Amino acid sequence: MRVLAALLLMAAPALAQDLRTAEGSGALLRWLDKMSGETADAELMRGQSAVSGHLTIELDECRYPAGDPASDAFAHLTIRDSRAAEPVFDGWMIASSPALSSLDHPRYDVWLLRCTTEAGSGE
pLDDT for res 122: 47
* Every domain of the chain and the residues it spans: 21-116
Strand partners, 89: 79
Tell me the whole-structure pTM to 2 decimals.
0.76
The number of beta carbons lying within 10 Å of the beta carbon of residue 37 is 7
Strand order in the sheet with 39-45: 39-45, 26-33, 108-116
Q: Give the residue from 25, 32, 28, 74 showing the smallest Cα distance to 55.
A: 32
| More confident call, 27 vs 118 | 27
Query: At 111, is the secondary structure helix, strand, or coil?
Result: strand
Residue-wise pLDDT for 20-34, tens only, equals: 888 999 999 999 999
pLDDT number for residue 107: 94
What does the longest C-alpha to C-alpha distance in the chain come to?
Answer: 43
